[in-house]
Chains A and B, each alone.
Chain A
């Protein structure tokens, strides 16, 4: 597997090797790859620092992160910068918003060989390369709930208190919006109304809701199937679990892309290819708390429950077209 990846790298390595060996002035002539990403990706606990070291060791280039508060802020920044953007790589959009970037011509085809991707992802996009993913799920405390919900119907029937995030301001919240519409179509507003009766609060962001849940504020909180792994590995606490739904889960797939204005297309493509390498993918699960996008990465047993038996495919264009009407339907269903 590793040798295969190495082959894929070889053609792209040449220019930078030339710069290093022939010109003998690597510092002055080394290329800089500017990567736009979000804050927690490059935080001291995020994957950014390790990935930077790994990639710089093989590209002989300088990796420069330009950081926005979150993925949406990054997208807005690139929109505002227009043609003046310095971004080579845009890292951290996801399958639920990527169509906006494509529609506004902010990205260009990546040319990366996607064959290493896990078949489960079923990913063939020409503009966006996945680097991690996670399924949305309801997290609960196993010491308090012995028979968790297995569907939205059983969740509603249990009358358990829930917390989810605002679909307008939070990725998991938006994920729930897509999830429900995927499962229930036109019947979704009725489900929203039923959920509203047992909703403790709709929080603005992921962590506000999640911290409230950890403080005992509700029975279930909307998060990722990978969340319990954090508590096991970082806190040695195996109380928390994700409730597996029989009808299936949808995933947030985080992606990277090459900026439409990049002058560094080859190096950018190198970097996206590097992200699919086993060494990069090994870093991600315990730093970004998401799943690796290639097969064969050794994962701690804590991640065992993170891949659901049924994964629901998400049509990104369909999401893009419907999201405003879904949001309005949610708003009026719960504001009653």
Chain B
């Protein structure tokens, strides 16, 4: 196969992502002192860690998906649910909730004085596998609800009517209509949630409750930081990337799912709903509200209930710093991710295998722990440039790179569909490259607002990169919260966390389709 000039240029767009990983690896390899040792892999603790990582990720993923089904169905079938649009906004917020805020909320709820404390004999503790699962379900079930709801919404009204006419039973309708609509999205959705849980860090570290419940990601952190055993960290992250990468790649085949979009308008499915069924749907819906809202209310209660009030000036400065870094990173990640889809799109039809590689390079930062990239860069640049002087450049660049996979995941299904539909028209009309870019830009523009909000909120939560590159006199909001908490100022930390939560909520509210249009 002779590569056209266009194909060669298109592959160059992947250069930033690949170069970033090469730099990180060069940094780690250059700084490592211990030889690689395979003995580590036969260590029973490694085997335990690996199997626990896989188990908790699979369990979190299955639970999230299973619990999402009844909620998505309730949203679709019940004709009069109070504040349906607000609920969808809440699901978006829950998905991007900074883990610090969620963990604080859960700890308040399940603490000894918490509302959900079950008495002295403690039959249930927040710490351990159950705590990890709870937090992971909180973070990921809402995403599954959104995707499933979206899928159910895409079933044409005629199909529902047809099902009615053919007197399909509830089960038959589930198999023939509902599951058939959800199924094509399950692959990517399950893979995505699995990878998020597999790579989960703060939740496992805080709620795991000890070395019994530890994951590869935590082991990588310990090897990188506390043992300073970079060889071990490299090997561990290789294992991690291989597993998470193959899961994501396997799902890439069926990737026609937009993970982060939601329809403008709600249509209630036209089915006959018995009063019992309606009651059940309403109950599921109500429980989902309570589940998603409780940790948020707990954080608000804690923050407002405290006698001291956190100083506003440093919080405002930290917020500005956060917005500067997250905003710039998101604005860089967007065109970068868009461009990185180019080689995939060029090769998708004729060379699916090549396209798979192109996709892998575009999203591979999702499976490499942020800390590995961060420490690798730190090790690479520390002797070459004044890291403190260019702290902002490093923070923005690395945050942008971390966000690119989310841009790719968002835009890929849109643009693949676009190509299928319009590739021939473009071949026909032959617009200039600039014109082509402009037409495509007009096409993706309306979908970018939700994406941008998602990227911003994700970047706001960054801790590992700031810990490496940040300037202590210009902390981000998240870092400032950790600093407050680390110096006994726990009430102030809760208040600052509330501000982070409010900022995230504002962004999410802004990204969701207009509320006025509901009903």
Contacts and interface: CB of A to CB of B under 8 A. Distances in A.
The reply to whether A and B meet directly (CB within 8 Å) is yes
Contacts of B122: 161
A166 B388 contact: no
Contacts of B490: 207, 210-211, 214
Interface stretch (B140-148, B222-230, B244-252, B353-361): B222-230
A202 interface: yes
Nearest to B125: A200
Contacts of B489: 45
Contact of A215 (B107, B226, B314): B107
Contact of B210 (A72, A75, A199, A218): A199
A169 B214 CA distance: 13
A309 to B, nearest CB: 26
A64 to B, nearest CB: 10
B205 A204 contact: yes
Interface in B172-210: 205-207, 209-210
Given A199-B210, A331-B45, A334-B212, A67 B111 contact: no
B378 interface: yes
Contacts of A235: 308
Nearest to A336: B212
A211 B106 CA distance: 13
Nearest to A174: B226
B226 A169 contact: yes
Contact of A334 (B48, B210, B471, B488): B210
Contacts of B488: 207, 210, 227, 230-231, 234, 289
Contacts of A206: 486
Contact of B112 (A66, A216, A334): A216
B487 interface: yes
A72 B225 contact: yes
A201 interface: yes
Interface in B467-519: 467-468, 470-473, 482-483, 485-490, 493
Contacts of A72: 225-226
A76 B228 contact: yes
Contacts of A331: 45, 211
A138 B281 CA distance: 49
Interface string A264-305: 000000000000000000000000010000000000000000
A203 B213 CA distance: 12
Contacts of B432: none
B127 interface: yes
Contacts of B308: 235
B108 interface: yes
A201 B210 contact: yes
B113 interface: yes
A212 B111 contact: yes
B263 interface: no
Interface string A41-69: 01111100000000000000000011101
B90 interface: no
Nearest to B48: A335
Nearest to B472: A67
A336 B482 CA distance: 32
Interface string B453-477: 0000000000000011011110000
Interface in A11-45: 39-40, 42-45
B502 to A, nearest CB: 21
Nearest to B470: A69
Contacts of A105: none
Contact of A202 (B210, B228, B472, B486): B210
A67 B308 CA distance: 28
B113 A81 contact: no
A79 interface: yes
Given A76-B225, A201-B127, A335 B45 contact: yes
Given A66-B388, A200-B127, A216-B111, A84 B383 contact: yes
Contacts of B487: 40, 43, 45-46
A215 B382 contact: no
A279 B487 CA distance: 22
A205 interface: yes
B222 A168 contact: yes
Contacts of A116: none
B472 A215 contact: no
B379 interface: yes
A80 B222 contact: no
A84 B490 CA distance: 38
A317 interface: no
Nearest to B221: A169
A217 B112 contact: yes
A77 interface: yes
A332 interface: yes
Contacts of B210: 166, 196, 199, 201-202, 334-335
Contacts of B379: 80
A201 B221 CA distance: 19
B482 to A, nearest CB: 8
Nearest to A64: B388
A157 interface: no
Given A76-B228, A200-B125, A335 B486 contact: no
B243 interface: no
A73 interface: yes
Given A43-B472, A67-B472, A73-B467, A80 B31 contact: yes
B170 interface: no
Contact of B206 (A76, A199, A203, A215): A203
A322 to B, nearest CB: 15
B114 interface: yes
B206 A208 contact: yes
Given A208-B206, A335-B211, A39 B483 contact: yes
- Among A66, A80, A82, A332, chain B packs the most CB atoms within 10 A around the CB of A80
Contacts of A330: 211
Nearest to B378: A80
Contact of A216 (B113, B205, B209, B221): B113
Nearest to A235: B308
A332 B104 CA distance: 29
Interface in A303-334: 328, 330-332, 334
Contact of A39 (B226, B314, B472): B472
A215 B114 contact: yes
B183 to A, nearest CB: 39
A313 to B, nearest CB: 25
A139 to B, nearest CB: 12
B225 A73 contact: yes
Contacts of A168: 222, 226
A81 B382 contact: yes
A324 B112 CA distance: 35
Which 4 pairs from chain A and chain B are nearest by CB?
Answer: A216-B112, A202-B210, A67-B472, A201-B127
Given A81-B383, A215-B111, A331-B211, 5 more contacts: A46-B487, A169-B225, A202-B210, A210-B490, A217-B112
Interface of B: 31, 45, 48, 104, 107-108, 111-114, 122, 125-127, 205-207, 209-212, 221-222, 225-226, 228, 308, 314, 378-379, 382-383, 388, 467-468, 470-473, 482-483, 485-490, 493
23 contacts: A39-B483, A43-B472, A45-B489, A46-B487, A65-B472, A73-B467, A79-B31, A80-B382, A81-B383, A82-B383, A166-B210, A169-B221, A202-B209, A208-B485, A210-B488, A211-B104, A215-B108, A215-B114, A216-B113, A230-B488, A289-B488, A331-B211, A334-B210
Interface of A: 39-40, 42-46, 65-67, 69, 72-73, 75-77, 79-82, 84, 161, 166, 168-169, 196, 199-208, 210-212, 214-218, 227, 230-231, 234-235, 289, 328, 330-332, 334-336
